[in-house]
Every structure is written in C-alpha cells, then in structure tokens.
Amino acid sequence: MNKRTPSQAGVSIATALIAVCVFLMSGSAAVACNIPVFRYALERWQPDNCELILFHRGPLTPDQQQMLNQLDEQRTARGEETASTLTLSDLASPPPLHVNLWNSIQTTTNRKITEPYLVVRMKLGKGRVVNGWHGPLSDAATVGILDSPARRELARRLLSGHSVVWVMVRADRNVESLPESQDFNSKAETALKTGFSWLSTNLELPEGIGLPGSELHSEIPLLLKFSTLEINREDLKESFLIKLFSELQPEATRRGEDLIIPVFGRGRALEVIPASVLTSPLVKDLTVFLSGACSCQVKEQNPGFDLLMSVDWNTKLFGEGNAPPSFKADRDRLNQKPELLTIPTGN
C-alpha cells in the first residue's frame, strides 16, 4: 500500500475560520461585552431546532408507537424554546408530506428501506440543512439521536463550569490505520495535554465581568476549566454522533485518524478537527478565542454547529419558569463585519 500524506489525501481544514466580530462605535462610546465567549454562548445562545420526519404506511403498531413516544419525550425535553418538530408522513395517503425528500432518500440509500423510516434534519452551519441521520424507526433508540451517555456527560460538565470539553472520537480499531495516522493520533493527544498545561498557567478571564453590559445571569461558577471526553467507535449508543462527525471528515476517518471536537456553550461544536491537523498552538488559539471577551454576540456570525441534546438548558441555567437574559436588539442590529482569521492547517 502506498503511503499518503494528509495533503495528498485531501484532508485539510485550511478554510476553517474563526469569526471575530468587531462592534462599531456608537457615538463616542464603544459597545463592549467582557463575558467570555463560552459563557456568553451558555447563557444566551439557544440551540438550533431540528426536524424529525417519520415516513410510514398506515397506522403504526403498538411497539412502533411506543418507540415514537420515547423519541417524542426526548424531543420535548429540550424545552419550549428549542423543542424539535416531529412530522408524520403517511405514504399510504397521497400526496405524502415531504415526498421529494422521500424520493431522494430512496434513490441515494444503497440498502433496502424498512418502514417506518425516520429522517433527522438539522442545521449545520449558516444556512445549511442536512440529513443528520436517517434509518428505520427501530434503530432510532439505539443510535442516540437526541440523547446518549456522552451527551449527558457533556451537559453535566458544561453545566458545572467546564469552559470547553474536547471530545475525542477514537479511530476504528477494527480498521487497519496507516502508520502515519497512528503517529498523528499520538501527537494530537500530546498536543491537548501540552495545550492544557500552558493554558492553566497563562490564560486569564477578561477584565470587567459583572460591569454593566457584562453581567452574568446564572449561578454556575465561571471557570477556566478544560477537559477531554473520549468516544469509542464501537460504542453503539454513540452511533449518531460518530456518524455525524465522521461524515464531516470522511478522508481522515478512512485513514484511521482520531477526530477532535471542541464543544462549549449549550453543546456547540466549534469544528471537527482531524488528528493530523491538531497541534498545541491550535489548541491554544481556539481556547483563547473561546475564553476571550465576547466581541460578537450574534450566534450566526460565529463558527460551529449545535449538537442535538435532550437538555432543557434554560431551566438548568436559570431555574423553572425563569426566562433567559434578553438580547440587546440594538447591538445585534449593528452593521458588524467579522474579521476572519484562518486556522492553520498544521502538517
């Protein structure tokens, strides 16, 4: 087998960007926010909704209805602000809803489709909606569409004060990795440890937290705390996340590289980074960005995408019946042009 370098295999995130939004001057005073990005995202940014579409023919059986009810409970557990929609499309009652989507899935799916068949539509980046997962309803509970042990642990850490949780999806041990990929995986793990060590002694919270415009609204401790969370590819309960991340970095996945995903706020993934790209300076740069003053409060102007999680964030953060802090509409409407910084590609 010929050896291939990451560049030859086409693996690169040279186009990945961090959007640093600079507020314009209003009169003689600048509009400022000194809350760290990770904390502002936790308190202010509502996770994106997703759409669940169930294609079926005629009435569901009692067992199928029970499966659907369990999924519906997870869907509504996200809270009213971010509850996902659930649409049932009866293929036996023409014209069925979302018929074009159904025809497209039938055309592109290589295996036989078993009904009832579930499609999960989610937002992935600005203005992009993708089929995050699709398969028989019977598989929905095992793959962990809206809930899984890893995401419950993610929520626990983020709600206890962790600034950024670096999720590591390990390479498939059942697939022979290229020798250089094994080396990349080892170096990526070292890069995280080295980065964390540097950050623990050099990183500081922004000044001015608590001043007007930079108030905290949750009692969760404000910490500079970073951790890693490993996911094994053999874990069937994490199939949804593994498939999602792998399809965003297919070449690295085929080569047997680990995938690293920095997660912050309410389960927002900043980027899916192959092990061959992750370096200690990159860990530092991304963490410094997420821990710095939130110069851009508009979620859509920041990189990343929201993981589907069965968490009522508003209740967890502010208590039952308490509303999250309101946005400053005049700030959000400012004509902000982001300054784009290119993430280095590494080797």
* DSSP characters over 236-266: GGGHHHHHHHHHHSHHHHHHT--EEEEEETT
- Establish whether the linkage from the previous residue to 95 is cis, with ω within 30° of 0: yes
Q: Do 194 and 324 belong to one domain? A: yes
Q: Do 61 and 84 belong to one domain? A: yes
pTM of structure? 0.83
pLDDT at site 179: 76
Determine, yes or no, domain membership for 1.
no
Q: Do 197 and 155 belong to one domain? A: yes
Of 105, 127, 143, which residue constitutes the final position of a domain?
Answer: 143
Residue 270: alpha-carbon gap to chain centroid:
7
pLDDT at site 73: 86
pLDDT at site 74: 83
Contact assessment for residue 307 and residue 241, using Cβ atoms and an 8 Å cutoff? yes
Determine, yes or no, domain membership for 96.
yes
Q: Do 226 and 92 belong to one domain? A: no
The residue behind tokens 């909606």 is: 129
Q: Do 246 and 132 belong to one domain? A: no
Contact assessment for residue 338 and residue 20, using Cβ atoms and an 8 Å cutoff? yes
Of 123, 143, 163, which residue constitutes the final position of a domain?
Answer: 143
Q: Do 218 and 325 belong to one domain? A: yes
The residue behind tokens 């290589």 is: 110
**3-state DSSP assignment of residue 118:** strand
Structural domain boundaries, residue 301: 6-47+149-342
Of 143, 167, 189, which residue constitutes the final position of a domain?
Answer: 143
Question: H helices within 34-178, ranges in order?
Answer: 37-44, 62-76, 99-108, 137-143, 149-160
Domain count, the chain: 2
Determine, yes or no, domain membership for 312.
yes
Longest CA pairwise span in the chain (Å): 67
pLDDT at site 7: 38
Nearest to 85 by CA among 117, 54, 131: 54
Determine, yes or no, domain membership for 347.
no
Nearest to 233 by CA among 258, 206, 201, 215: 258
User: 267 is written with which tokens?
Assistant: 């389960």
Q: Do 177 and 261 belong to one domain? A: yes
Q: Do 17 and 114 belong to one domain? A: no
Question: H helices within the chain, ranges in order?
Answer: 6-9, 37-44, 62-76, 99-108, 137-143, 149-160, 179-202, 239-248, 250-255, 280-291, 313-318, 329-332
* pLDDT mean values, one per 10 residues, the chain (347 residues): 39 37 31 84 90 95 94 80 84 90 90 91 84 91 90 97 97 75 93 95 92 89 96 94 94 95 97 96 94 77 87 91 61 44 52
**3-state DSSP assignment of residue 78:** coil
